[in-house]
Structure 1
Amino acid sequence: MDTPRIARLDSRAVIAVTGPDARSFLNGLLSQEIETLARGELRFAGLLSPQGRLLYDLFVAGVEDGVLLDVAAERRDAIVMRLTMYKLRAKVELTALDMPVSALFGFDPRDIDGFVADPRLPELGWRAYGDELEADAAEDDYDAHRLALGVPGPADWGTDKTYPIEANFDLLSGIDFKKGCFVGQETTSRMKRRGTIKNRMLPIAFDGPAPAFGTEVLAGELRAGEVLSGRDGRAMALLRLDRIEGAALTADGRPMRVETPVWVSA
């Protein structure tokens, strides 16, 4: 068994959503079912545009008096503003909290006191909120772990550019297709129902440093996608599924290969 590691995720921030309408309010907005969220449970969700594009990712943690939203720190104010726009007469309070977010990762999943399991993949580990834990890893180490598993992050989908299915939210427990309506649901459900999933984010491997964000991935002379975030030897890419099967791929003049994770192909 590998040695567990703890990293403080300074790129994440917390919003408390409280009040008698907290869960029903969020349930009508987010791509995940919130009404049945239990205390101490964590779910992954997206807040979409009315056109069905991904605006923000959120982890939703059940607490006694409402929920906590674990969001990208640089986008927390924008998320609060967006939720406030939808609030209308709902009995809901939105409060930005000075609360650290930590991740425990790097060994076989099991129950850990004070942590909640990451709902996307068991291999991603657990998350914790509020405790000042002694970190023995950097956030960059956690990001390397995430990328090794082929899981995209906020740097890959930006804001209002990508459909959540293209960012694999349907494979990472980020969309509940059986729940009622949510913002952007019509487009999301139609893509799933019709099977019109032409693009997905997949990890690519190569020698040397990652190509610049937005670099074209070519299948021969045909555009097959673009490079997203990455590091030496590995990156995420948004790829056309009909052009990568069996193709010799290049980016920035260098050969690339797709390393499709088991959780995508299962």
Structure 2
Amino acid sequence: MRPSTSTRKIYASCSTRSRFFSNAVHTRSQQKSDATPSSPPEAGYARLTNRGLISIAGPDSTTFLQGLITQNMLITNDPNRATRQTGSYTAFLNSQGRVLNDAFLYPLPQADCASPDEPAWLIEVDKNEVASLMKHLKKHKLRAKLKLRALEDGERTVWASWKDHEQSRWAAYNLESPSSSPFSLSSSVAGCIDTRAPGFGSRLITPGAEDLRSHVPDETQIAGSEVSLGSYTLRRMLHGIAEGQSEIIHASALPLECNMDMMKGIDFRKGCYVGQELTIRTHHTGVVRKRILPVQLYTEDQGALASADAPVYDPTAELPLPPSRTSIYKVSTRRMRSAGSFLGGVGNIGLALCRLEMMTDVNLTGEHTQYDPEQEFRVSWTATEEGSSDHQGPGEVKMKAFLPSWMRDFILNGGVRKNTRTREAEEGHRARELLEQLEEEETLRQKE
């Protein structure tokens, strides 16, 4: 006996609901997994689905980008002004010197270039900001001979790869020589060293959506196995690295406060670009009083975690995350000056823009600071508006900031400015030696 039409409809309806229920359970479990990721392994790689790509190609593409980004498109100190052949970390600023987008820039592999003589680049940015950056680029394009295109999902994939406690074999890839690339000229893979923290790893762009190992099978280049985006995000925050415009606030954040000078994302000796004036002035004459730092979130009964020398991730900790840009204050009976603002977090680890002389023991000016090692800080918030994407009730957590050793060394040693002065002093010393040598030779010649 064949089932009736109504019976078939009921069966189909139940089957559909079953699939929807299965998908819903999978989605919820995936969201829970992303909310509490496992601790990042010492070696691994992650697919960065939160990043998007823009292609820019044409005869004027290099000079066009040179006038818009903080990084130098030309090889430093090259008298021939040759174009660099490596990828790099950089940023797009507005005319007031505020960050519009943090980005990675890669030369398009020669295998994918329409013409070997025509420069082409890939810009990697926050996926939610692709349309905004495209609008910014088109506004400045004017009559420049170039083509802009936002890449579709699956056309290329962005990866982060790392192996802790070991310098990548690709360190030479940051040298300005085409032969230093670990990929053959016929390869469609692009990449660079991620300079945002020492030993942080590499950045890679591969064609299609296949696994990274299908393009780079060499274990000496790619180690470990694939991990979730959440684990990569956790590792990034433990290193004190902000990424994307949910953490580097669009048109509000200053590049030096986001540590872009430490992360080799700014060339202070290049020519003019949009937003250069304020950036250079702050670099040469100002003191950067606020920096993005990793922070530990805790409650009254978790105070022991906050006394460690570095943030400690606890996947079992159930803490409410403060809304982004919530102000940080000292724990006291009266409301005082803000010590910074919370930017984002995973579990009990986060990032915050902190006043260094309030939340760390760094003394920037040699004068009296407000730092007290016994002082605690808190973040409290009221209920967010119902219906918003991050709707939650009121709450409060305590917070402790940490200054990674490499950041501390950079700040205490005077940063890029001191390094630049040292190089200039060395060049001046060599010039004086050469002049003295020439004078001695001229004196000997006259005596002869």
- TM more than 0.5: yes
Rounded Cα–Cα distance in structure 2 between residues aligned with 1:214 and 1:196: 22
The verdict on how the C-alpha distance between 1:95 and 1:180 changes in structure 2, with shifts beyond 3 A counting, is same
Name which of 185, 188, 191 aligns with 2:276. Answer: 185
Name which of 29, 42, 48 aligns with 2:68. Answer: 29
Q: Deviations over 1:116-164 (max 9, x none)?
A: 3113224321111124225721111111110111111222122101111
Contact residue 162 and residue 201 of structure 2 kept, 8 A: yes
Could you say which residue in structure 1 is the equivalent of 2:15? Answer: none
Could you say which residue in structure 1 is the equivalent of 2:206? Answer: 130
Shift of 1:68: 1.0
Rounded Cα–Cα distance in structure 2 between residues aligned with 1:3 and 1:196: 35
Q: RMSD of aligned C-alpha atoms?
A: 1.9
Residues 1:56 and 2:101 aligned together: yes
Q: Is 131-140 or 17-26 further displaced after alignment?
A: 131-140
Could you say which residue in structure 2 is the equivalent of 1:94? Answer: 148
Query: Matched residues, percent identical?
Result: 29
Rounded Cα–Cα distance in structure 1 between residues aligned with 2:138 and 2:402: 41
Higher strand proportion (structure 1 or 2): 1
Contact residue 168 and residue 199 of structure 2 kept, 8 A: no
Letter in 2 for 1:56: N
Letter in 2 for 1:38: R
Could you say which residue in structure 2 is the equivalent of 1:68? Answer: 122
Residues 1:214 and 2:342 aligned together: no
Shift of 1:3: 5.0
Rounded Cα–Cα distance in structure 2 between residues aligned with 1:3 and 1:164: 29
Rounded Cα–Cα distance in structure 2 between residues aligned with 1:163 and 1:116: 24
Shift of 1:193: 1.1
Q: Is 177-186 or 202-211 further displaced after alignment?
A: 202-211
The verdict on how the C-alpha distance between 1:62 and 1:122 changes in structure 2, with shifts beyond 3 A counting, is farther
Q: Deviations over 1:219-257 (max 9, x none)?
A: 344221111101222111112223224332222354321
| SS of residue in 2 equivalent to 1:141 | helix
Could you say which residue in structure 1 is the equivalent of 2:285? Answer: 194
Rounded Cα–Cα distance in structure 2 between residues aligned with 1:88 and 1:55: 20
Rounded Cα–Cα distance in structure 2 between residues aligned with 1:58 and 1:206: 28
Rounded Cα–Cα distance in structure 1 between residues aligned with 2:288 and 2:400: 21
Rounded Cα–Cα distance in structure 2 between residues aligned with 1:47 and 1:165: 13
Q: Is 250-259 or 137-146 further displaced after alignment?
A: 250-259
Report the structure number with the largest CA radius of gyration.
2
Could you say which residue in structure 1 is the equivalent of 2:134? Answer: 80
Q: Deviations over 1:149-202 (max 9, x none)?
A: 111122212210111111111111111111011100001111111123222111
How many residues end up aligned between the 2 structures? 264
Residues 1:143 and 2:233 aligned together: yes
Could you say which residue in structure 1 is the equivalent of 2:366? Answer: none
Letter in 2 for 1:123: G
Residues 1:228 and 2:343 aligned together: yes
Letter in 2 for 1:105: W
Name which of 239, 251, 264 aligns with 2:379. Answer: 251
| SS of residue in 1 equivalent to 2:137 | helix
Name which of 21, 42, 48 aligns with 1:9. Answer: 48
**So what's the TM-score if we normalise by structure 1?**
0.92
Q: Deviations over 1:198-219 (max 9, x none)?
A: 2211111122523332332113
| SS of residue in 1 equivalent to 2:130 | helix
Letter in 2 for 1:127: R
- Unmatched segments (≥5 aa) in structure 2: 1-40, 76-82, 111-118, 171-181, 183-188, 213-224, 299-316, 361-370, 381-395, 410-448
| SS of residue in 1 equivalent to 2:269 | coil
**So what's the TM-score if we normalise by structure 2?**
0.56
Could you say which residue in structure 1 is the equivalent of 2:167? Answer: 109
Contact residue 15 and residue 69 of structure 1 kept, 8 A: yes
Contact residue 197 and residue 239 of structure 2 kept, 8 A: no
Rounded Cα–Cα distance in structure 2 between residues aligned with 1:95 and 1:215: 36
| SS of residue in 2 equivalent to 1:95 | strand
Higher helix proportion (structure 1 or 2): 2
**Whose relative contact order is higher, 1 or 2, with alpha carbons under 8 Å and at least 6 apart?**
1
The verdict on how the C-alpha distance between 1:141 and 1:191 changes in structure 2, with shifts beyond 3 A counting, is same
